[in-house]
Amino acid sequence: MKNMRRLAAVALISVFAISVAGCNMISKTEAGIKKSPVAKFDNETITKGQLDERMAGLQQSFIQQYGNDYLKNSDAKTQYVTQEKSMLDNMITEKILLKKADELKVMPTDEKEKTDLINKKMDELKKAYTEDQIKQAGFSGGYNDAKFKDYVKDLTVMDKVYENITKDIKVDDAKAQDYYTKNQSQYTEKPNMIKLAHILVATKEEADKVEQRLKNGEDFGKLAKELSTDTGSKDNNGEYEVPFVGSGFDETFMSTALAQAEGKISAPVQTQYGFHIIKTISKTNYPVKKFEDVKEDIKKTLLDQEKQTKYTDTMTKWRTDAKIKTYEENL
């Protein structure tokens, strides 16, 4: 009897194991994968299938570049998963905004007014994108694709949420004047320019040795050619000429160069690229435009900045409240 019980128990365990394996097999079919969640929040679920639909255009781009087996290419897979996570994040934001639109009642109730808003958004998109670009984004029917038309409706609604979030933000003349006073180099008749040179090395120890050689009287340009790892400037004595604003250079690097008097050489300065010895050669300053001539531009700039800050802060709170859970293993 004991042996019979033992055999029965073994049989039950085997049946249970088979049933579990069967469940796993079902869950791994194409249909099961498409239904698997990639994000849950606020009683909402985004499935792998929904995400794949939005990724269709990018999938075609990857296939064209890497072939049908692009996910077997490690570089392609890394790029694709990064894009997939970004798309998922966008989809989560969209769903939160659409839910908030219902709560805030941002859309007009008049159907004609609503239709006019949607048509206006469609016209904006037609000016910004060609029909081929819309197709490449995954909407095979272009501007007449039913899913694209639905997406335009959603974009229109989300625009109205943005307007609601930012409706109370205003920038007065006093705030614009304050910004103008503190940032006059942005409003010159021509861009102010600085001519500088630098020697870039990997370590602080190397930079200290360069500094000492300069103090001993060696020529900056010759040392740049000999030692600098910046291939863009070393053969030109380490020199660049760039605008004060919008140079694209590292902020710490530029602030050091601008703060120095002409002819001065800095102590070693660390940035993400290594250690720099920076020489400020010359600065060219142009007259500043009158406040009245740039006031409206400044107010628009500040208004856009403050609206974006308010929108970002609000979305951060809404996303936190939504208690988002993502399932990266299902991507």
Tokens of 57: 């255009």
Residue 318 within any structural domain of the chain: no
193-201, strands of its sheet edge to edge:
239-243, 193-201, 274-284, 269-271
Partners of residue 47 on adjacent β-strands = 37
C-alpha distances in Å from residue 127, one per residue of 121, 124, 133, 190, 289:
10, 5, 12, 32, 33
Q: What is the pLDDT of residue 169?
A: 97
Partners of residue 195 on adjacent β-strands = 241, 282
- Residue 195's domain spans which residues? 190-284
Q: Which of 284, 301, 317 is the last residue of a domain?
A: 284
Residue 298 within any structural domain of the chain: no
Per-residue pLDDT 10s for the chain (331 aa) are 444 344 333 333 333 332 333 444 444 688 888 999 999 999 999 999 999 999 988 898 899 999 999 989 999 999 999 999 999 999 999 999 999 999 999 999 999 999 999 999 999 999 999 999 998 888 889 999 999 999 999 999 999 999 999 999 999 999 999 999 999 989 999 999 999 999 999 999 999 999 999 999 999 999 999 999 999 999 999 999 999 999 999 999 999 999 999 999 999 999 999 999 999 999 999 999 999 999 999 999 999 999 999 999 999 999 999 999 999 999 8
Q: Which of 263, 284, 305 is the last residue of a domain?
A: 284
CA–CA distance, 262 with 252 (Å, rounded to integer): 18
Q: Residue 212, exposed/middle/buried by CB under 10 A (0-12, 13-18, 19+)?
A: exposed
Token look-up 């208690």 returns 323
207 plus 152 within the same structural domain: no
Among 100, 117, 99, residue whose Cα is nearest residue 108: 117
Q: Tell me if 117 sits within 8 A of 147, measured CB to CB.
A: no
Q: What is the pLDDT of residue 15?
A: 34
CA–CA distance, 266 with 158 (Å, rounded to integer): 50
CA–CA distance, 219 with 269 (Å, rounded to integer): 19
Partners of residue 284 on adjacent β-strands = 193
216 plus 160 within the same structural domain: no
Cα–chain center distance at 172: 30
CA–CA distance, 105 with 210 (Å, rounded to integer): 65
244 plus 197 within the same structural domain: yes
Residue 222 within any structural domain of the chain: yes
144 plus 199 within the same structural domain: no
Can you give the pTM of this predicted structure? 0.74
Residue 14 within any structural domain of the chain: yes
CATH number of the domain that 197 lies in? Answer: 3.10.50.40
Residue 110 within any structural domain of the chain: yes
C-alpha distances in Å from residue 199, one per residue of 50, 228, 257:
52, 5, 13
161 plus 199 within the same structural domain: no
Residue 202 within any structural domain of the chain: yes
Q: What is the pLDDT of residue 28?
A: 65
196 plus 256 within the same structural domain: yes
Token look-up 């128990």 returns 9
250 plus 197 within the same structural domain: yes
What is the DSSP code string of 95-116? HHHHHHHHHHT-S-SSHHHHHH
Number of domains in the chain: 3
135 plus 221 within the same structural domain: no
Residue 279 within any structural domain of the chain: yes
Residue 112 within any structural domain of the chain: yes
215 plus 268 within the same structural domain: yes
